[in-house]
Amino acid sequence: GDSVTQMEGPVTLSEEAFLTINCTYTATGYPSLFWYVQYPGEGLQLLLKATKADDKGSNKGFEATYRKETTSFHLEKGSVQVSDSAVYFCALSPGGTSYGKLTFGQGTILTVHP
Protein backbone atom coordinates (compact mmCIF):
# COMPACT_ATOMS: atom_id res chain seq x y z
CA GLY A 1 0.00 0.00 0.00
CA ASP A 2 0.88 3.67 -0.07
CA SER A 3 3.29 4.98 2.55
CA VAL A 4 5.21 8.12 3.49
CA THR A 5 8.48 8.21 5.42
CA GLN A 6 9.86 11.37 7.01
CA MET A 7 13.19 12.03 8.62
CA GLU A 8 13.31 11.40 12.32
CA GLY A 9 13.01 14.39 14.57
CA PRO A 10 13.05 16.48 16.51
CA VAL A 11 14.95 19.10 14.54
CA THR A 12 16.37 22.04 16.46
CA LEU A 13 17.73 25.10 14.65
CA SER A 14 18.76 28.64 15.36
CA GLU A 15 16.86 31.49 13.78
CA GLU A 16 17.90 32.20 10.17
CA ALA A 17 19.34 28.71 9.68
CA PHE A 18 18.58 26.62 6.58
CA LEU A 19 15.95 23.92 6.97
CA THR A 20 15.56 20.58 5.21
CA ILE A 21 13.07 17.92 6.22
CA ASN A 22 13.32 14.79 4.11
CA CYS A 23 10.27 12.94 2.84
CA THR A 24 10.09 9.86 0.62
CA TYR A 25 7.03 7.98 -0.52
CA THR A 26 5.83 4.68 -1.92
CA ALA A 27 2.76 4.71 -4.12
CA THR A 28 1.32 3.20 -7.27
CA GLY A 29 0.37 5.51 -10.09
CA TYR A 30 0.86 9.26 -9.86
CA PRO A 31 0.03 10.60 -6.42
CA SER A 32 -0.22 14.22 -5.36
CA LEU A 33 2.12 15.29 -2.55
CA PHE A 34 1.62 17.69 0.34
CA TRP A 35 3.20 19.25 3.35
CA TYR A 36 0.93 20.05 6.28
CA VAL A 37 1.94 22.03 9.38
CA GLN A 38 0.55 21.76 12.90
CA TYR A 39 1.16 24.63 15.31
CA PRO A 40 0.87 23.96 19.04
CA GLY A 41 -2.68 23.29 20.14
CA GLU A 42 -4.11 23.45 16.63
CA GLY A 43 -5.21 21.15 13.84
CA LEU A 44 -3.16 20.53 10.71
CA GLN A 45 -3.23 23.04 7.89
CA LEU A 46 -2.01 22.76 4.34
CA LEU A 47 1.40 24.39 3.78
CA LEU A 48 2.05 23.52 0.13
CA LYS A 49 1.33 20.91 -2.51
CA ALA A 50 2.51 19.52 -5.85
CA THR A 51 0.30 17.47 -8.12
CA LYS A 52 2.72 16.12 -10.74
CA ALA A 53 6.37 15.29 -11.26
CA ASP A 54 8.80 18.24 -11.25
CA ASP A 55 6.20 20.59 -9.81
CA LYS A 56 7.44 22.88 -7.07
CA GLY A 57 5.09 23.83 -4.28
CA SER A 58 5.84 26.97 -2.29
CA ASN A 59 4.31 29.02 0.50
CA LYS A 60 5.56 31.30 3.29
CA GLY A 61 9.16 30.83 2.16
CA PHE A 62 8.89 27.02 2.22
CA GLU A 63 9.48 25.00 -0.95
CA ALA A 64 9.31 21.36 -2.00
CA THR A 65 9.84 19.75 -5.41
CA TYR A 66 8.08 16.58 -6.55
CA ARG A 67 10.89 14.22 -7.62
CA LYS A 68 9.47 11.10 -9.24
CA GLU A 69 12.86 9.55 -9.98
CA THR A 70 13.80 9.56 -6.30
CA THR A 71 10.21 9.36 -4.97
CA SER A 72 10.94 12.33 -2.74
CA PHE A 73 9.33 15.60 -1.67
CA HIS A 74 11.81 17.27 0.67
CA LEU A 75 10.76 20.46 2.48
CA GLU A 76 13.19 23.39 2.51
CA LYS A 77 13.35 26.93 3.82
CA GLY A 78 16.29 29.23 3.46
CA SER A 79 15.95 31.12 6.73
CA VAL A 80 13.73 29.83 9.52
CA GLN A 81 12.03 31.96 12.15
CA VAL A 82 10.97 31.20 15.70
CA SER A 83 7.37 31.30 14.46
CA ASP A 84 8.10 28.29 12.20
CA SER A 85 8.34 26.04 15.27
CA ALA A 86 5.71 23.39 14.66
CA VAL A 87 5.19 19.79 13.58
CA TYR A 88 5.49 19.17 9.83
CA PHE A 89 3.73 16.28 8.06
CA CYS A 90 4.42 14.99 4.58
CA ALA A 91 1.41 13.36 2.92
CA LEU A 92 0.23 11.87 -0.35
CA SER A 93 -3.09 11.41 -2.09
CA PRO A 94 -3.47 8.72 -4.73
CA GLY A 95 -6.16 10.77 -6.46
CA GLY A 96 -8.83 9.14 -8.53
CA THR A 97 -11.71 7.90 -6.41
CA SER A 98 -9.83 8.25 -3.14
CA TYR A 99 -12.39 10.81 -1.85
CA GLY A 100 -9.55 13.05 -0.79
CA LYS A 101 -8.00 10.44 1.51
CA LEU A 102 -4.45 11.27 2.57
CA THR A 103 -1.64 9.05 3.81
CA PHE A 104 0.52 10.97 6.32
CA GLY A 105 4.08 10.51 7.46
CA GLN A 106 4.86 10.35 11.15
CA GLY A 107 5.57 14.06 11.49
CA THR A 108 8.76 15.97 12.26
CA ILE A 109 8.97 18.35 15.21
CA LEU A 110 10.83 21.56 14.40
CA THR A 111 12.02 23.91 17.16
CA VAL A 112 13.65 27.22 16.22
CA HIS A 113 15.57 29.14 18.90
CA PRO A 114 16.20 32.90 18.79
Partner 1 sequence: DAGVIQSPRHEVTEMGQEVTLRCKPISGHNSLFWYRQTMMRGLELLIYFNNNVPIDDSGMPEDRFSAKMPNASFSTLKIQPSEPRDSAVYFCASTERQSSYEQYFGPGTRLTVT
Site track 45-84 with partner 1 (rule: CB under 8 A), x = hit: xx--x-x---------------------------------
Q: How many residues bind partner 1 (CB under 8 A)?
A: 21
Tally of CB atoms within 10 A around 112: 19
Q: In this complex, which beta carbon is closest to partner 1, that of residue 20 or of residue 59?
A: 59
Burial class (CB in 10 A: 0-12, 13-18, 19+), 5: middle
Segment near partner 1 (CB under 8 A); pick from 10-18, 19-27, 61-69, 102-110: 102-110
Whether 80 contacts 15, CB under 8 Å: yes
Q: In this complex, which beta carbon is closest to partner 1, that of residue 24 or of residue 95?
A: 95
- Which of 21, 32, 64, 75 is close enough to bind partner 1 by CB under 8 A? 32
Minimum gap (Å) between residue 34 Cβ and partner 1? 7
Name every residue whose Cβ is closer than 8 Å to that of residue 2 and which is 6 or more positions away in sequence.
25, 26, 27, 28, 31, 92, 94, 103
